């Protein structure tokens, strides 16, 4: 088990004032099967009352409305997470994670990678467990990509990312999800935090013996106690940390993001 202090902040700056701003935040790590979260604090700027609820994927969601003109919007989330991958609690099986989602529908590139994984599984000694099979898929995905920031967008599909053979953590996760589901695994997308990333991170979990086990295809390794879960779902679209809509005249926006995760003993907690 590790005791981790997390600090995540996001700020949008608008080119001119906006009004009637409705937002939805899915940015708060919550207590779950592999982590206990305490001392959570959320600050939203401009200051506004936000309603809190739990969505159908058990993620914490905050919604709010800012009618007045404002030229920026941001939030900061801090807290402590006790993460323990050695004693993950069981979860109920959900069949929806076995099927394609909007961003993971396979095309020729995904199909070819799936066949390579199946061929490797046939020729390698493998226990055949979901984690063992997923580890092979993860390694093949890792070898198929070059990590390239700004080479994709939040709308890029798994097929598009794999075809160009470059992307970021979201793309690695989407491709792994697509292949996992077509080799018979139940798999879901995870959005969260990892020390040293400077931003949010994405990885995959597969269902094994009543538990979800994490694998990180961007780093080609199993998830350990350094990872904090924020949200999970079928793909990125179920786990968007912040979305919104506002009124303005030809407004453009720029975004700043910072994330840090440290062991609590290293920050005096």
- pLDDT tens per residue, range 187-215: 999 999 998 888 999 999 999 999 999 99
232 and 177 within one domain: yes
228 and 128 within one domain: yes
Question: How much of the chain, in percent, has pLDDT values that exceed 90?
Answer: 93
| Tens-digit pLDDT profile for residues 27-79 | 999 999 999 999 999 999 999 999 999 999 999 999 999 999 999 999 999 99
Look at residue 125 in the predicted model and tell me its pLDDT.
Answer: 78
Q: 268 pLDDT exceeds 50? A: no
Look at residue 269 in the predicted model and tell me its pLDDT.
Answer: 45
Count of domains forming the chain: 2
Kind and range of the H or E element at 114? helix 108-123
Direct distance between the N- and C-terminal alpha carbons of the chain, in angstroms, rounded to an integer: 15
Kind and range of the H or E element at 247? strand 242-247
109 and 222 within one domain: yes
42 and 123 within one domain: no
Note down the domain range covering 73.
2-85+241-266
* Site of tokens 């109920």: 92
Q: 102 pLDDT exceeds 80? A: yes
| Tens-digit pLDDT profile for residues 120-171 | 999 887 778 999 999 999 999 999 999 999 999 999 999 999 999 999 999 9
């Amino acid at each position: 088990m590790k005791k981790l202090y997390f600090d995540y902040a996001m700020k949008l700056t608008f080119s001119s004032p906006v009004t009637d701003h409705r937002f939805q935040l899915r940015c708060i790590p919550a207590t779950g099967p592999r982590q206990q979260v305490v001392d959570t604090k959320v600050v939203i700027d401009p200051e506004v009352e936000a309603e809190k609820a739990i969505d159908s994927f058990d993620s914490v969601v905050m919604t709010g409305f800012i009618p007045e003109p404002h030229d920026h919007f941001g939030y900061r989330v801090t807290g402590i997470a006790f993460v323990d991958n050695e004693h993950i609690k069981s979860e109920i099986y959900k069949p929806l994670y076995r099927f394609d989602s909007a961003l993971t529908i396979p095309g020729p590139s995904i199909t070819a990678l799936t066949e390579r994984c199946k061929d490797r599984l046939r020729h390698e000694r493998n226990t055949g467990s979901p984690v063992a099979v997923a580890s092979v898929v993860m390694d093949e995905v890792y070898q198929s990509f070059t990590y390239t920031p700004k080479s994709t967008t939040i709308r890029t599909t798994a097929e598009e990312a794999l075809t160009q053979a470059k992307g970021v953590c979201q793309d690695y996760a989407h491709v792994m999800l697509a292949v996992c589901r077509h080799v018979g695994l139940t798999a879901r997308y995870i959005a969260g935090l990892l020390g040293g990333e400077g931003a949010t991170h994405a990885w995959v979990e597969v269902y094994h013996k009543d538990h979800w086990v994490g694998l990180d295809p961007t780093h080609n390794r199993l998830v350990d106690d350094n990872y904090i879960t924020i949200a999970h779902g079928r793909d990125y679209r179920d786990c968007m940390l912040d979305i919104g809509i506002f009124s303005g005249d030809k407004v453009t926006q720029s975004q700043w993001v910072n994330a840090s995760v440290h062991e609590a003993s290293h920050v005096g907690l």
